[in-house]
Structure 1
Amino acid sequence: MNREKPWQDYPRPQLKRDSYYNLNGLWDYRITTSTTLPTEYQGKILVPFPLESSLSGVELRLAETEYLFYHTTFRLPSNFKKDIVFLHFGAVDQEAVVYLNKVEIGRHQGGYLPFSFDITRYLLSGENELIVRVKDALDTKYPYGKQSKKPRGMWYTPVSGIWQTVWLESVRQGYIEELKITPNIDEKTVAFNFKTEAKEITIQIFDDNQPLVNKKTEDKTVTISLPEVKLWTPDNPHLYKLIITTKTDQVDSYFAMRKVGIGEHHNKKVLLLNNEPYFFNGLLDQGFYPDGLYLPANIDGFIFDILKMKELGFNTLRKHIKVEPLIWYHLCDKLGMIVWQDMVNNSPYSFFHDTILPTLGFQSKNDEKRPIPAENKKIFIDSMKETVSLLYNSPSIVLWTIFNEGWGQFNSVKVTEILRQIDNTRLIDSTSGWFDQKVSDLLSLHIYFKKVRFKKDKRPIIISEFGGYSYKIPEHSYSLDKTYGYRFFRDEGSFRQAFIELYEKQIIPNIEKGLSAAIYTQVSDVEEETNGILTYDRQICKLDVNETKALNNRVKYGK
């Protein structure tokens, strides 16, 4: 890892410009109970790693009554400034107030989504001073994922402050503000929606660097026919290069021709990829790392996890209650890994309602009268809309999960309708696990302590969580005395044999009975939770690669 300039990778791969000035690196920091801008700082913190992480160089927890101040200075490179300069933050958890040259320029709430400010009128010709004030009380009205004030078991260390790239960008008037891409493999077309004040737009499409389309238009909504279509699959993740040009701007992007849907196979409802029955064989992916918590030391950490799971024969990752940096989705697009994307839960987790009741079999509780504050509901829906808008163009994402195991669940019929209105091209798992309200595209089950059995349903049946087998390797574990999982093994051999038997006896026989997907828990150990295929430090794979790949070659539909 480059400790002077970490995470220099361009952070927005599907709307890429040549204007890019990265502000990651060592910043000053101060923790205080006052909101007054500090005049002195107590040390250095390595941005973009969160305060609690070892990679930040600080490794401290932020109390509810405390504020974390970040401070740095910068000078714009020569010829950098055009008409407008934007300051971008990939993500800051949980509440941020941003100051430039001692002037407040904006605020943001919520720790998982990017935000930016037009800082043009606040800039100085020489040195500029940037300060960010962060408060992270783990306020449950905001999405907070698996973070906990008291981490234990399946709850993890909190993540405070900046945890994604901070960067500057400059554009001319008439720049391309937004780009929405919708492929249609049946019609052999791709639709583009632009947000720009430019009068004329040029669209260039390339296939393996060979020019395919060159079209000029004054329309903000354009549908283009392709002479031939190469489909995107995990085995062949074909991407088309895209260049969009206006009089004052140019962005590089890409898209893929991919479709997900529902059909029939042997008189059973099943999931389809590109109009063909496809078994989604995947893993739960929490996205935690021992040194950086929400962020690995560099992009290689993302690449390793994706490629190792592909090497084992899996084709899907369920990104669990976390939104990753855009570059992670780009890697899934490029390397060929299907993504099921969870929304990040807010509202308190009720152990009785969300765990005890469904474990006892009470799994059909109506969710229209859940006592969740109106403000929480609005924040969740707004965050859901923003998440879909952010990730819409990524071809690897084929499914949205709204609620997980009843946590924060409310009015799922209405919320599902809202989601379908903003994206009708992907599948929706409204209620993953239990409390099914019959509006989801799928019957989504979590099965940890029982044999896999399911009743007939008019929808495809998926197991969106199962397994969770724990094999702890002490020298590669977060905690020597605490362990969390669903079934425990003392040695590698018994763990591997049980894993194989789980698939051979519980998953493979049920595929022809209508099972459409299976998501095993999970990619890696996370802190006390030791049910990963990889250890938390990613040093050990607990499964034999060749043996697991051979097993996964059987986890698919027959002819």
Structure 2
Amino acid sequence: MRTLIGAIASMVLAMSAIDAAAQAAPTGDSVYTSDLMTRWGREVTPDNAWRSYPRPQLKRDRWLNLNGLWDYAIAKDTAAQPMRMDGQILVPYPVESKLSRVARKVTPDDRIWYRRSFTVPQDWAGEHVMLNFGAVDFAATIWVNGAVVGSHKGGFDTFGFDITDYLKPGRNELVVQVADPTSAGTQPRGKQILDPSGIWYTAVSGIWQTVWLEPVPKLHIDDVRATPDIDRGVVDIAVALSGWASDTDAVKLTASAGGKVIASTIIRANRRATLAVPNARLWSPDDPYLYDLKAELVTVADPYAGQDERDRKAYDARFTQGEDRTYAAARIAGVPRDTVDTYFAMRKISIGPGRVAGQPAVLLNNKPLFQNGTLDQGWWPDGLYTAPSEEAMKSDLVFLKKAGFNMLRKHIKVEPARYYYDADHLGILIWQDMPSGGGEDQFVTGTSKSQAVLSSDAMAENQNELAAMIGDLRAFPSIVMWVVNNEGWGQYDSATLARYVKGMDPSRLVNADSGWLDVAPGASDVFDIHTYEDVPNTPTRQSTRAIVIGEYGGIGMPVTGHIWRPGKKNWGYQVATGEEDYLARFRRKMAGVIRAAREDGLSASVYTQTTDVEDEINGLLTYDRARAKASPEALAAIAAPLRTLSSER
């Protein structure tokens, strides 16, 4: 009982601190935060804020989490680094959020300053230290002990720096400066806006994912990319190091199933290998089976030692089958210098014959599987971009599975890596959107006949972030489609970008244009319409592409006590009068989807949306996740016919 009382007291103190911090913000720059709070948000403290290892697809055993209370200040861009800070902020929650304990606006002319100290663990002595950021929105510059160690642009991708040369014994100082133009700029930003209303939400700025330190050797494993091929019964694995490798640098790869080794080999560093996966157990929403993979950076005895013209033979062997055989038989000397754990799934996503003759369909593992999904914004009333905890974030996925959905469209936002890890393990297919950018005047409309015109710098920024997103997320098997554009928001040169994405990752489908201006039929794997009519429209048939509904639904229903801004008019495509009316409308829309799937070969549909978000009340769940508009069992029963479609061929 004493422990329980202590926990409750700590929670009350934590919430009081959050409220006090929000109230202490200067009147002119405070952000509206509502009284809504999730049950997970009420449990957040500086000691438990996002403690999971943040990079589950490239996991090392040793690391130091830097989440918690940092000093912060917001100053104008013309001001020098402030000597006196404004207070404390709880990282990794955005500055504008309630959970950050700040809840202040950030204008394009502002700069956010973060500061904290850290001490490198003694047992890391002699190793290189990486400083890693899960994501910072938007432009960050980082100092360690007064020296600039690097900078980064991009609000959604991971980045890091080797800070070894900047460290000193004992206490070290870390300073981060962030600039974020939000909707005043053209950078990818999704649904953030400086003046939120309707379908546009509160701006997010600064550090919004985990910050951590990690010891590594100077030359270490930087990337492991596993691409399954179920038709050949193999997995192709590429391993990239942090720099150039010598002929004695090699990587040992070991694939396991249920703790039992199924394949192993040695490759020269910065190379790829193919491992056989006999009798592969295929990943699917009904059976999300994952294989473990270990990559170890090792030193091998020089495989060319003693040979005539040794250097010439080593050079000529590069990227040949002879080199593969030589390293597979190489002798390892000593212990591994770096080890990372990852995983992969044996699954295939493709376009092929469906149940309706002449209409191609989306296939999973060479069989049609109707993808029944929701539009998922990924916003939270207390953390905005950042879920209060991984448990909170995972709860949305668990609800969707119970409600009969096997897919979601991650809508113009990129989540922390743990989100995709959870989807991999739960069996949720994901369509991953590229966050939209461009100016408001560059939003292509439903009647437009041409695409936006952006500057070379704006296009370069968009393409850099697009490549970074794919690079960060391509290891997660749950992702089956990249969505390049949404409803023409900053849409430019769509066909070129779709081919660019397909070139980077040919193992997944590409949706060039979700809704509105379809200008890339030869480069897009699907034809995607948005339809918010009472009964959804059906996409016109296509001879070479699958047809999908990228958005439909939008049944709004306000729930008293769970409204973001009480007293203000909420926004929805249609508004239900109660749960009975809500279910009737949902049944009517789902009946249209089922008919289109059965009669016209529709491959997928995306219902708007998982949760309410701020003024938008189109969710299956309230914004605080406290109430479902209808039980998940009732929703699953209505959608049940979609599960049987693939067996009706």
Judge same fold: TM > 0.5, yes or no. yes
Which of 100, 116, 119 is residue 72 of structure 1 equivalent to?
Answer: 116
Please say which structure displays the higher CA radius of gyration: 2
Measured after TM superposition, the shift of residue 214 of structure 1 is 2.6
Which of 202, 217, 234 is residue 267 of structure 2 equivalent to?
Answer: 217
Measured after TM superposition, the shift of residue 392 of structure 1 is 0.9
Contact 1:24 1:46 in 2 (8 A): yes
- Does residue 244 of the first structure (1) align with residue 295 of the second (2)? yes
Higher relative helix content: 2
Distance 2:540 2:264 in 1: 52
Distance 1:2 1:168 in 2: 22
Paired position in structure 1 for 2:593: 507
Q: Secondary structure at the match of 2:540?
A: coil
Which of 597, 612, 637 is residue 525 of structure 1 equivalent to?
Answer: 612
Paired position in structure 1 for 2:3: none
- Which structure 2 residues correspond to residues 457-496 of structure 1 after superposition, within 5 A? 457-458=542-543, 459-480=545-566, 481-496=568-583
Distance 2:252 2:577 in 1: 61
Q: Deviations over 1:185-238 (max 9, x none)?
A: 000000111113362221111111122123223361101111220000011100
Distance 1:477 1:354 in 2: 31
- Which structure 2 residues correspond to residues 281-430 of structure 1 after superposition, within 5 A? 281-350=372-441, 354-355=444-445, 358=446, 362=447, 365-367=449-451, 370-430=452-512
Measured after TM superposition, the shift of residue 527 of structure 1 is 0.1
Which is further off, 100-109 or 393-402? Answer: 100-109
Measured after TM superposition, the shift of residue 59 of structure 1 is 0.8
Contact 2:94 2:383 in 1 (8 A): yes
Distance 2:267 2:195 in 1: 56
Q: Aligned-pair RMSD on alpha carbons?
A: 1.4
Contact 2:534 2:589 in 1 (8 A): no
Q: TM-score, normalised by structure 2?
A: 0.83
Distance 1:227 1:518 in 2: 34
Which of 156, 164, 168 is residue 112 of structure 1 equivalent to?
Answer: 156
Distance 1:24 1:450 in 2: 46
Measured after TM superposition, the shift of residue 372 of structure 1 is 1.6
Distance 1:457 1:213 in 2: 42
Q: Deviations over 1:395-454 (max 9, x none)?
A: 000000001001111111111111111111111110100211113111100001364133
Paired position in structure 1 for 2:28: none
Measured after TM superposition, the shift of residue 393 of structure 1 is 1.0
Paired position in structure 2 for 1:206: 256
Q: Secondary structure at the match of 2:212?
A: strand
Q: Deviations over 1:61-93 (max 9, x none)?
A: 112222111110011112124432111111111
Contact 2:539 2:549 in 1 (8 A): no
- Which structure 2 residues correspond to residues 180-191 of structure 1 after superposition, within 5 A? 180-191=225-236
Q: Secondary structure at the match of 1:517?
A: strand
Q: Secondary structure at the match of 1:380?
A: helix
Distance 1:24 1:82 in 2: 25
Q: Deviations over 1:135-173 (max 9, x none)?
A: 122143211110001100000000011000000011113
Which of 187, 195, 212 is residue 150 of structure 1 equivalent to?
Answer: 195
Contact 2:528 2:547 in 1 (8 A): yes
Contact 1:201 1:246 in 2 (8 A): yes
Distance 1:227 1:285 in 2: 36
Paired position in structure 1 for 2:23: none
Q: TM-score, normalised by structure 1?
A: 0.96
Q: Secondary structure at the match of 1:244?
A: strand
Contact 1:350 1:407 in 2 (8 A): no
Matched length: 549
Contact 1:81 1:170 in 2 (8 A): no
Which of 81, 99, 107 is residue 143 of structure 2 equivalent to?
Answer: 99
Distance 1:113 1:455 in 2: 36
- Does residue 261 of the first structure (1) align with residue 350 of the second (2)? yes
Which of 431, 443, 450 is residue 527 of structure 2 equivalent to?
Answer: 443
Measured after TM superposition, the shift of residue 478 of structure 1 is 0.2
Q: Secondary structure at the match of 2:249?
A: coil
Measured after TM superposition, the shift of residue 340 of structure 1 is 0.3
Q: Which amino acid aligns with 2:275?
A: I
Paired position in structure 2 for 1:540: 627
Contact 1:95 1:111 in 2 (8 A): yes
Note the residue ranges of structure 1 that are not aligned, 5 or more in a row.
none
Note the residue ranges of structure 2 that are not aligned, 5 or more in a row.
1-42, 299-336
Contact 1:19 1:80 in 2 (8 A): no
Q: Secondary structure at the match of 1:192?
A: strand
Q: Deviations over 1:266-295 (max 9, x none)?
A: 312111000000101000000000100011
Measured after TM superposition, the shift of residue 350 of structure 1 is 3.9
Paired position in structure 2 for 1:22: 65
